[in-house]
Structure 1
Amino acid sequence: MNQNKISIIIPTFNAEKTIVKAIDSVLNQTYQNFELIIVNDGSSDKSYEIIEQYAHQDDRIILINQRNQGVSKARNNGLNIATGSYITFVDSDDYICPDFCSKMIEKIKETNADIIKCTYRTEWENGDGDNWYFSLGGCEYFSKDFIQTSVISSLLGLSNHNLVRWLNGEDLNAYYFACTTCYKKELIEQYNLHFNENLKIGEDLIFNLMAFYYAKNLAIINEPLYRWVNNSSSMTRKQDIKLNRYKLDCIKERQYLCNEFKLGEEYHQCYRNQAIMLGLYQIKYLSLLGKEYTFKEVVEELEWLFNQPLMAEAREQLLLKPIPLKFKPIFFLIKIRKHKFIFYVYYLLNKLKDSFMY
């Protein structure tokens, strides 16, 4: 294994419009001790041909071609052949700043951390965007105690305290993304870490939950070195009535890991609160799908979600006391199983809104 070499893994599926920018952002790094592993996940466009041309020109580029099996399988296949001492990921519709690798290596030399995270800038397809930063009071190095008390609970969901912060508009997705993270390969190999290939949403989060649980320390680079391009064709933005089933699968996996790691009750409350928020989001989301699906289909999907055992557990354990007063009524209605009433209100309001538009 090459000391201080970074393995950069890009899973690719039908990315002919964006893959060039992603690859060029890696090749233009000021730090050049890297290998670029690109996994073509059965693309039907010209992605493979574009990547192949790059691979012929630069022997640091390794191309893996697989039938379409999803982003997790693609990342895992990249992990299996990575030779760097540190590993990171870039999505094929995103890109990284020229000093991404150099600043990661600088922080590695300074801290010898198991995990290094930077921040990111969101960019819309029209070029607009926002920088995102950690709110950590200037500290940039953290021990296992901080990881166990703060990071793990954040990855599991929303603690009672963080639920209030989230309701008040704070962005608490700090540790979710694999693409803003550099992992020590020893950590991945020692604990046989891999991406869950059964998840359609949240595979980053679950990978990070396991990685952070085993990590001894964490270093933060509080700069937006990663560019997350908010692509309208992304799976998480498609009008799919089953979308929140995939999100519930991710919450169930958090529940499983919480039990596997034998974590305390306060950690279990995190994924329960996340399930409640998913339920509220599902109510609002389904109320907007009247044009794509029948009313009967929408109501059946809502009932399916709220009849899940995890949702019943979450309702039973929901604490109303810490909820801000203006949100209490809607959480109370969820707790007493009046989710259909909330849905009908949202649905009728949307119908009225539509009628006034014509």
Structure 2
Amino acid sequence: MNNPLVSIIVPCYNQAQYLSEALLSVLEQTYQGWECIIVNDGSPDNTEAVAQEWLEKDTRFKYIYKENGGLSSARNAGITIAEGEFILPLDADDRIGPNYLSLAVDEFKKDSELKVVYCKAEKFGDEVGEWILPEFSLKNLAKKNMIFCCAFFKKSDWESCGGYDVNLIYGIEDWEFWIAILKNGGQVKRLNEVCFYYRIKPISMVKSLNNEKLKFSTEYVNIKHADLFIKEMGSINYLWSQIYENENEWQKKMQSKKFILRIVLKLFFGVSRY
């Protein structure tokens, strides 16, 4: 545990133009005990050529190719061959700060009960500024995800929960994965430092998640982890009553001319008060 190996997993599909920026942020880590596995998920662009350049720069970079299967299967493929005790997924269009690995490893050394370590984050690209997320708790996690994909966990915990769920081909695989790891216990630590930089683009997997796909994915997670949702949110009857109350409240609001006018003013003229 003195200098545990960290395996950084970088799936890439049609992100070759950003890949070098992500890998440079890995190379600049102050903590030296890492390997970085680039997973080409059947990408039609020049991902392989870019990856080969980085393999020549440092032998800690590794590369594998697989047929396209989606983000979950790409991460699983990389983690399967990973030799590190700790895993850090990093999407090919994002970046990490130079101290992220050293700070996270220090936290794991302090607390054997830790399961997940993440940090503060900033957006860059089409939108800039701090990425403000709710504080972690199981109750909050049952409502929505607040831990981005680029967080540390133990490979043994990935094995125990069966890895990332490949059925979630439309997204929210991170949310399901954190639920799977944490619902039966374990500590979570958020570093009080910005070490993750999340790129905002005009088109992304999250933005392309339409209502039908989101409904499928959410229902899948709700059924798979019904034990967590019932434990943290109450009985099924209670949940349905909350949904019914929210629907009724929304219907009442939509019948209010003042409420509709306020929405129109905000959407089209940027006026937040009426």
Question: Do these two structures clear the TM 0.5 threshold for a shared fold by scoring above it?
Answer: yes
Q: Distance in 2 between matches of 1:248 and 1:129?
A: 29
**Unmatched 5+ stretches in structure 2:** 269-274
Q: Distance in 2 between matches of 1:15 and 1:69?
A: 15
> 2:149 matched to 1:178?
yes
> 2:21 matched to 1:21?
yes
Deviation, 1:205, is 0.7
Aligned residue in 2 for 1:330: 250
Preserved contact between residue 5 and residue 84 of structure 2 (Cα < 8 Å): yes
Q: Distance in 2 between matches of 1:210 and 1:13?
A: 25
> 2:222 matched to 1:252?
no
Is the alpha carbon distance of 1:70 and 1:259 closer, same or farther for their aligned partners in structure 2, counting shifts above 3 Å?
A: same
Query: What aligned pairs does 1:77-226 form with structure 2 within 5 A after superposition?
Result: 77-112=77-112, 113-125=114-126, 129-132=128-131, 151-157=137-143, 173-175=145-147, 177-179=148-150, 181-226=151-196
Deviation, 1:261, is 5.1
Identity of aligned residues (%): 25
| Counterpart residue type for residue 178 of structure 1 | C
Is the alpha carbon distance of 1:39 and 1:2 closer, same or farther for their aligned partners in structure 2, counting shifts above 3 Å?
A: farther
Q: Distance in 2 between matches of 1:124 and 1:221?
A: 23
The structure with the greater share of residues assigned to helix is 1
**Unmatched 5+ stretches in structure 1:** 137-149, 159-172, 273-313, 354-358
Is the alpha carbon distance of 1:196 and 1:40 closer, same or farther for their aligned partners in structure 2, counting shifts above 3 Å?
A: same
Q: Distance in 2 between matches of 1:62 and 1:199?
A: 25
Q: Distance in 2 between matches of 1:35 and 1:107?
A: 19
Deviation, 1:27, is 0.8
Structure number with greater Rg is: 1
Q: Distance in 2 between matches of 1:37 and 1:12?
A: 11
Is the alpha carbon distance of 1:50 and 1:262 closer, same or farther for their aligned partners in structure 2, counting shifts above 3 Å?
A: closer
Superposed CA deviations along residues 78-137 of structure 1, whole A, max 9, x for unmatched, are: 111111111011111100011111111121112231211212111124xx511245666x
| Counterpart residue type for residue 149 of structure 2 | A
| Counterpart residue type for residue 154 of structure 1 | N
Is the alpha carbon distance of 1:152 and 1:332 closer, same or farther for their aligned partners in structure 2, counting shifts above 3 Å?
A: farther
What is the root-mean-square deviation in Å for CA atoms of aligned residues?
3.4
| Counterpart residue type for residue 102 of structure 1 | S
Work out the number of aligned pairs and report it: 263
Normalising by the residue count of structure 1, what TM-score does the alignment of the two structures yield? 0.64
Q: Distance in 1 between matches of 2:243 and 2:36?
A: 46
Deviation, 1:196, is 3.2
Q: Distance in 1 between matches of 2:42 and 2:225?
A: 34
Q: Per the alignment, in what secondary structure is the counterpart of residue 200 of structure 1? A: coil
Deviation, 1:47, is 1.5
Is the alpha carbon distance of 1:331 and 1:258 closer, same or farther for their aligned partners in structure 2, counting shifts above 3 Å?
A: farther
Q: Distance in 1 between matches of 2:146 and 2:232?
A: 23
Q: Distance in 2 between matches of 1:3 and 1:50?
A: 29
Is the alpha carbon distance of 1:194 and 1:16 closer, same or farther for their aligned partners in structure 2, counting shifts above 3 Å?
A: closer
